[in-house]
Amino acid sequence: MKLIKTENDNITLDIAKKHIYVDFNDDDTIIDLYIKASLGVIEDYIHGIVLEQTYETTQSEAQSLELAGWAMVMPVAPYSVIVTVAGHDYELPQDSWYWNRKVLTISPASKNVIIEKVTAIAGRKTDRPQITQARLLLIGDYYAYRNNNVDMMIRELPTGIKMILGNCTGVSL
């Protein structure tokens, strides 16, 4: 299984720089790292994926199970599973696949079906303004405290960011 595509992030370098009032290019690399870090931190906090991710595995890469079909390891639950059979793609109904503890299991309708490829899509691109605002605030904190020593680094989300994300936790995006 490999990640083959991630949707584009709605927070660009230009947006982040405007938010933190930076009008020079010297810090572009570090600001870009803060953009990526903010995504991971917010996804961990809300227990969900902000940007849609597409995973794919082929017959040679997947674990073939005698009776159950295929199994592939995925870091997050998919919302759509597409199989390729004889060169054609078919979206599977939810009752024909199962995800538990990072393993996606697919049961083909017939033992005679040869699945060539499995594509699973997880997360959903969201334009929720509170997620964007929380990420921008976090990027601003990272940038403002970039020169502090390791002991002073942000270990917990600031209360303001937690309040903004309050209704986003534990929900499927």
User: What fold is seen in the domain 12-49+128-164?
Assistant: Hypothetical protein yqbg (1.10.3230)
Q: 58 with 116: CB under 8 angstroms? A: yes
Query: pLDDT tens digit string along 104-139?
Result: 888 766 667 777 888 888 876 555 788 889 999 999
Whether the predicted model's global pTM rises above the 0.75 cut: no
pLDDT of 171:
45
Query: How is the chain split into domains, by residue range?
Result: 12-49+128-164, 53-122
The answer to whether the beta carbons of residues 52 and 121 sit under 8 Å apart is yes
